Structure 1
Amino acid sequence: MPIPEDVTGDEIDKDVRQELQSLPKTLAEDVAKNLVMVARLIDEDPEGAYGYSKVALRLASRVAAVREAAGFAAYANQKYAEALAEFRAARRMSGGVELWPLMADCERGLGRPEKALDMAGASEVHKLDKAGQVEMRLVTAGARRDMGQLDAAIVTLQSPELASNAVQPWTARLRYAYADALAAAGRQGEAREWFAKAVEADKDGSTDASDRLAELDGVEFVDAFDESEGESDGSRDEQAPVDPEEGGKE
């Protein structure tokens, strides 16, 4: 696959670069460039990222960072069996536990929430850093919901991290998951409160908490310019958001 001219391979993390030192220099450079493309595309073009990950995998399948990147690319494309296999391989090579929550979530994706719950009780969870433990909690709550255990999912998300006023990288997603579970349980007032808290923490718009909050408030935004009326009389009528008391979203 073509590599843009601005990609040199030097953009990769220093730890990954160190892993690639076991390869011949030219090969290491090629692998690095493909890994850069995986990271660059995985959010906006996961299919493209997957293609570059397969190239890197073909070039250096015995490098843990390559297997991990292949796992992330497969995961982004909902290829959960493939992602799980790659994450397991990366874990065997590196000996780390960082991928444990993702492996458990792959089990969910494969329709095996019971397996994800088993992994939530494993000793590896205690070795995770704080971010990893929060991620594991999110996966566990999701598995509970998969099994129809909504109340258990809500309890699972209740934690010191959820109660904390400090904003961490995981805060918005944790608050959002809790709000979503409350909404599914019909606890709309509490759900609104937590969607609002998720909005406060979600500075980069990683969730649709603001939309969910507006939906609960019965606010519906309409186009400021009605094309049909504009064509008929040549005017442009601005419309404000619909007042919930006058007929909002049903």
Structure 2
Amino acid sequence: MEERPRNNSGRPSSGRPSSDRPARGGRTERPGAPRKVSEGREVSDPRGFRAPPQERDQSRIRPRIFEPDIPEDVTGEELEKSVRAELLSLSAENAKVVARHMVCVNLYMDADPELAHKHAVAAAHHAGRLAVVRETAGYAAYRAGHYEIALKELRAANRISGDVSMWPVMADCERGLGNPLKALSLAGSPEVKRLDKAEEIEMRIVASGARRDLGEVDAAVVTLQCKELKNESDEWAVRLRYAYADALEAAGRLAEASEWFSKCAAIDHEESTDAQERAAK
């Protein structure tokens, strides 16, 4: 029997030219093999096509934030029961952290608004889907003068809950951002009809301020002319009378302004305004 020629490795050779043999990875026309280098690995790569690695969506990675220290004596139980009830959808551990941050918001709101804002940001970081937390964050940002952040948080709270009570603050945020027309748009929206009396008065005051921002001082006075100016008992009465007197003064109606500053001082028993001093000018 004729012996078949052997190759260098000592194994029998097929006798076919090497150029006619399939590549080490098999024939490239096999089903599933890539036809174009641009579609995957090289055509002769036995591993075939493999999709390129996908980059991780950075928008889905929640960034770490600065969390201010919480005093050890703050437990979270200091919150009103109704607010704590809204945190029950969170895990017990997370609810406690959020509650303690929210207590700190109330604790520092007047003394250190910026620190209160940082605690509110931390609370919203842990419970961003809860309306009460986003609303708290909005008010804290507003008090600290961060109007753009405040507007974002209050809008989120409104989307979650449908509550329109923060509408006047949202309008004032627009004023703070230099958008008086947007403030007036909010003041004229259908949602205003759902405000309670105190919030309705607050919206009038904001709308009057927006008119003054636009240089419409007479319109600012008219905005505040309402039957509620006769009210002497509700908490909002002092603010309304003071705003009306201030608008009159801005319009150059000084005698009327002095009269209304006096009327404001008459019901401002806690002396929360400087109405008495301004009436004496």
TM-score range, shorter chain: 0.7 to 0.9
Describe how 1:60-209 pairs up with structure 2 within 5 A: 60-164=127-231, 166-209=232-275
CA shift for structure 1 position 27: 1.2
Give, in whole Å, the separation in 2 of the partners of 1:29 and 1:208. Answer: 41
Give, in whole Å, the separation in 1 of the partners of 2:128 and 2:155. Answer: 13
- List alignment gaps of at least 5 residues for structure 1: 217-250
CA shift for structure 1 position 185: 1.7
178-187 vs 148-157, greater mean Cα deviation = 178-187
CA shift for structure 1 position 167: 1.9
Structure 2 counterpart SS, 1:142: helix
Tell me how large the CA RMSD over aligned residues is: 1.3
CA shift for structure 1 position 202: 2.1
Structure whose residues are more often helix by fraction:
1
Aligned residues: 214
CA shift for structure 1 position 188: 1.6
Give, in whole Å, the separation in 2 of the partners of 1:126 and 1:147. Answer: 24
* Structure 1 residues 17 and 168: alpha-carbon distance in aligned structure 2, compared to 1, 3 A threshold: same
- List alignment gaps of at least 5 residues for structure 2: 1-67
Give, in whole Å, the separation in 2 of the partners of 1:205 and 1:79. Answer: 28
**RCO comparison, higher one (Cα < 8 Å, 6+):** 1
2:27 corresponding residue in structure 1: none
The two structures have a TM-score, normalised by structure 1, of: 0.82
CA shift for structure 1 position 207: 2.1
CA shift for structure 1 position 136: 0.8
Q: Give the AA of the match of 2:138.
A: G
CA shift for structure 1 position 3: 2.0
Structure 1 counterpart SS, 2:186: helix
Moved over 4 A (4+): none
CA shift for structure 1 position 85: 0.4
| Higher gyration radius (CA) | 2
1:237 corresponding residue in structure 2: none
* Structure 1 residues 204 and 36: alpha-carbon distance in aligned structure 2, compared to 1, 3 A threshold: farther
CA shift for structure 1 position 145: 0.5
Structure 2 counterpart SS, 1:137: helix
The two structures have a TM-score, normalised by structure 2, of: 0.73
Give, in whole Å, the separation in 2 of the partners of 1:210 and 1:33. Answer: 40
CA shift for structure 1 position 201: 2.3
CA shift for structure 1 position 53: 0.9
Give, in whole Å, the separation in 2 of the partners of 1:188 and 1:6. Answer: 52
Q: Give the AA of the match of 1:141.
A: S
CA shift for structure 1 position 4: 2.3
Give, in whole Å, the separation in 1 of the partners of 2:96 and 2:138. Answer: 21
* Structure 1 residues 203 and 11: alpha-carbon distance in aligned structure 2, compared to 1, 3 A threshold: farther
Give, in whole Å, the separation in 1 of the partners of 2:195 and 2:137. Answer: 22
1:41 corresponding residue in structure 2: 108
Give, in whole Å, the separation in 1 of the partners of 2:80 and 2:272. Answer: 23
